[in-house]
Structure 1
Amino acid sequence: MLADYFVNRPVFKDPVFRTRYRMSLNLFKRISTDLCQYDRYFVQRSDATDKVGLLPEQKMTAALRMLAYAEYLRAPTTADLRRLLAKAERRGFPGMIGSIDCMHWQWKNCPTGWAGEYSGRKHIPTIILEAVASYDTWIWHAFFGMPGACNDLNILAKSPLFDELTAGRAPLIQFQVNNRAHSLGYYLADGIYPRWTTFLKTVRNPTRPKEIEFAKTQEGYRKDVERCFGILQSQFGIVRGAARGWHKEDLRYIMLTCIILHNMIVENERPEDSDDELESDDEEDNNMRPRIAEVWEGPTGRDFDPVGRDAHHMNGFMDRYQQIRSEHSHSNLQEDLIQHFWEFQGNMSI
């Protein structure tokens, strides 16, 4: 690392350093100097056996990597949700915050004793990644490590995807379509996922014109996450090929590192004015199509608890748990969005 970036004549010049560290070398050195003066942890020291410890550059690099985990591998904030919801409305799906699916990564060096558990229908050991991606292929949720013999429902049962929402700590999303109010954002999903309020599935064997148009568009937008998997594999050959590691935890670090780098690339290549375009169109367009979905800071517990109990109370927890898994609400959401999208397509064609 020192030879690559921190000697007088490094292997990689400033542009490469900026790409990796998201800052200039001069700024990095200034921060490192200030940290060493503020906290002796960052100063290189010897232990009781006179073994020399890590350099300040190494410790700061490790700290920046941990910060990258927080920034580039996290759930969307309120500001993020507003941007995602604005884009979803422009696509005709108010309340949508991404699409969800799973990807299998072949495990070449899977221990023999685990081969049966990790082998799916293709009889090849794999490890599964569950991911939620938005329209720009940014990965907002990554749950990695489930055996390849599991299906998407098994993974969902173990996934922390809705933990914050069930606990009442997620931002509150509300939107109204077809004159009916809804209080949960949703993900586009394929047929194997359950009929929950938080999933919007396609129409099986559509017959009416509005159902046909809805199904075609839903299936197209749902491929955002599949497109994300393709980009991830094309960018990083280690994910495209079979995993050669022996330890599952090492493979988890590799996968999450690739996802973080992928998100950094997405952010770097995103046009600077893209958010502004999503937040505000021209005045005439805003008057014709007012904002349908709104989002506020949590807690969500107050919205779900009809008798006003504390969000952390068990009854409130169960109210939210059942609300998320309501098949009736799923049917209402699907019906409302089919009608809304049909009218949306008609308005767009005028």
Structure 2
Amino acid sequence: MNKALFLRIVHRLSNEVPFFQQRRDARGRLGLSALQKSTAAIRLLAYGTALDSVDEYLRLGATTARSCLENFVEAIINLFGDEYLRRPTAEDLQRLLNIGEERGFPGMIGSIDCMHWEWKNCHTAWKGQYPQRYNVLERSPVFDDIIKGQAPKVNFFVNGREYHLA
């Protein structure tokens, strides 16, 4: 993830989600920042490690790390879900097909076509450590409409042959 995207996410979280707003504790000391909480959640998602793995790096225990992860996932769905977890329009699909063709992959809408590849750090492979609600990809309707035959029709060429498919 690039720095600008990460900081955009942290900024939205710290401004719109109370859990990510830095507070003072009973002794008046500042608690964890949105940067620390977000970093913990993203590291847990990216590396598929145990909750206490962020203790030395970010100085927070397993219970706090779990809370960061839970709040992060819920906040991402609430803040960005309408924009990034929505059904693709015909224009979206055509734009992705054009990008794929420019990059030498005609007929491919993106790396989502390679979801059959196992990602060893994927949180769905953590064998019950976390509830299924953390599988953000399962909330995506991309394949539901294709399976039901309701996806938008798009035009694309592969090896000189034109296709009009969902």
Shared fold (TM-score, shorter chain, > 0.5): no
TM-score (norm 1): 0.21
TM-score (norm 2): 0.38
Q: Which has the higher strand share?
A: 1
Q: Which has the higher helix share?
A: 2
- Report which of the two structures shows the higher radius of gyration computed on alpha carbons: 1
